[in-house]
Amino acid sequence: MIPTIQWDNDHIRMIDQRKLPARVEWFVARNYRDVIKAIQRMVIRGAPAIGVAAAMGLAMGGRTIKAGTYGPFMRRLQAMAAEMAEARPTAVNLRWALERMLRLAEGMSLEPVDVIKAALRAEADRILAEDIAVNQSIGRHGASLVPDEATILTHCNAGSLATGGYGTALGVIRAARDAGKTVRVYADETRPWLQGLRLTAYEMMEEGIPVWVIADNAAGSFMRQGRIQLVVTGADRIAANGDVANKIGTYQVAVLAKENGIPFYVAAPLSTIDPAIPDGDHIPVEERDPAEICQVGGKCVGPQGVAALNPAFDITPARYVKAIITEKGILYPPYSDTLKRVLEGA
């Protein structure tokens, strides 16, 4: 399992995913604003990993607050959390983790500030440990959906690098392999950041799981040829009705899967479900720098000055999702009912 993020004494170090697979390099965040930069600049990415980074970043930031009484300390902590919440708008785990950390501090108003700071650090550690355990549970549930022999298509990277460890979609693949099933992976390259080529292929090769990278526009052809048995992706936010926000290109993969009679599964923790969002039309979709579209490896390959559009995510309507794999089990339509029921029981 590839480590994603960890404490380095009082600082935070995270594997710089922009440098993979050429080299393994660690980015060290020395204050909470460094964590914000790491999230914005794709040093760390993937909804669960961003949530873990936010929790650890807020704990680190809280430690530096000089206020000696609860009121001023809490106001500064809330301001830090508000700053961090703006780092990336689509991945709901960012906000979920920050709200969990703030709730903890709000419930400790009678405690000394130093005690609250220590509790925030311990809570961030719990969020990291829980994320790994949750992903392993998702993997076990999802493995039951994988045939004894299967080629699985995945889009973007939803492995150890996108989480605290183990992975969601890749966790399902790992668990299926560990259960004795013969699995092979087709990884969409995933333009423009090439997370499939650089990260998913890297993780699968490290695991010894056979993997082939395919161009994003080749998935439909391979499906039509009968070379793909199922699709598993992660998610950055799931609306109350089961609509899914995930890396741009996921929607077209889901449509192609349905056209070809191939099950399309989403693997995600309950923390990725946002019951306050009624449907996908209400999920904010991050727009990134258009230059990312025109560049490969930092080098411009298009005509100078060409206009480009660069949404980082798209919305897959719930009707294309055969099941959502969570740590509490496999959820089936109608998602308005099953998501509500599992969240109420969580």
Active-site residue set: 236
Q: CA triplet 20, 22, 25: central angle to 5 degrees?
A: 60
Q: Report how far residue 174's alpha carbon sits from residue 327's, in angstroms, rounded to the nearest whole number.
A: 15
DSSP for 281-299 reads GGS---B--THHHHEETTE
Task: Tell me the helices (H) and strands (E) count for the chain, helix number first.
Answer: 12, 16
Distance CA 261, CA 224 (A): 9
Q: What's the CA gap between 58 and 121, in Å, rounded?
A: 9
**Please, what is the Cα angle at 299 between 297 and 300, to 5 degrees?**
130
Length of the chain: 346
Neighbours of 27 (CB within 10 A): 20
293's tokens: 């579209």
Question: Distance between CA 279 and CA 239 in Å, rounded?
Answer: 5
Question: Which of 9, 13, 15, 7 is CA-nearest to residue 203?
Answer: 15
